[in-house]
Every structure is written in structure tokens, then in C-alpha cells.
Structure 1
Amino acid sequence: MNALKKYLGIVWIALAIVVAYYAIGIFGGKLTSGKQDDLVFGIIVFFILLPMIVTGLTIFGWYAITNEYEE
């Protein structure tokens, strides 16, 4: 079971990297589109939601790798 937790920890960290890459690619264009609606949506996603999602996935993966859930 511990091996599965460590494997899934790596998966969560990899998922955080993939989410960050695709979100920057997709929502980065919203910031430069010139429309006010796209700008507001892009700012909210890019500066508020994206850091929370990536940080949460990374911390969850790190805890799974370092066996923090055993205690």
C-alpha cells in the first residue's frame, strides 16, 4: 500500500505540472485578448485559482511521497 501511495504522490505532482502548463497556455491568451470580459476571467483564473490548484496538488503529492499520512 505504501508503494501505491508513493506512486500516486508522483502522479499528483505530475498532474500539478501538467495543469500549470496547460492553464498558462490556455488562460495566458485571455490576458492579451483585449476584451474586458476575457481580461477579468483571465486574471481570476491565472492569479487566484491556478496557484491554489497547483499548490494543493503539489502539497498533496509531497505528503504522499514522504509518508505524512502514516502518522
Structure 2
Amino acid sequence: MNFVKRLLGLIWLLLGPAVICFLIAGAVKNIDPSGTRDINNPVIWVIIIAIFVPIAIGLMIFGWYAMKNEYKHLPEDSDHLNFE
């Protein structure tokens, strides 16, 4: 199971920058001042990018910790928590 967690960590670590690149490429491709559809509006793209970039960064952080094997043992109840 730890191998699966580390493998998924690598996938999440690579997926974060890919999502950011796809969002920026989609914005560059679809923003058109003479367009009449909602997808051509730059305000919509700024909102979408502003929402999904922090999510992608969180995905990369989660993947980094999974790659470092920080999730090899998860506490089963509150008695197993270590706050030191």
C-alpha cells in the first residue's frame, strides 16, 4: 500500500504543474477581445486560474509528502496522535 501511495504522490506531483500549464494555454488560446462567447472573456479566465492554481499547488504539496513517505502510518484514533 505504501508503494501505491508513493506512486500516486509522484503522479500528483507531476499533475499540478500540468494543470497550471493547461489552464494558461487554454486562456491564451481562448481569450479573444472580438469574441462574443463567455469563454472569450478574460475575466472568466482570471477567475478560473485564480481558483485552480492554489488547488494545483496543494496537490503538489500533497504529492511531495506522499513521495517522502510521510503517510506510511496514519493514526487509527486520537490516542495515537503525536503532537511533539
**TM range, smaller chain:** 0.7 to 0.9
Matched, 1:10 2:10: yes
Query: How many matched pairs?
Result: 69
Percent identical residues:
35
Matched, 1:51 2:53: yes
Gaps of 5+ in 2: 75-84
Amino acid across the alignment from 2:32: S
* Distance of 2:21 and 2:43 partners within structure 1: 20
After superposition, the CA RMSD in angstroms is: 2.1
Matched, 1:40 2:43: yes
Map 1:20-39 → 2, pairs under 5 A: 20-30=20-30, 32-34=31-33, 38-39=41-42
TM-score if structure 2 supplies the norm length? 0.66
Aligned to 2:62: 60
Query: Which has the greater radius of gyration?
Result: 2
TM-score if structure 1 supplies the norm length? 0.76
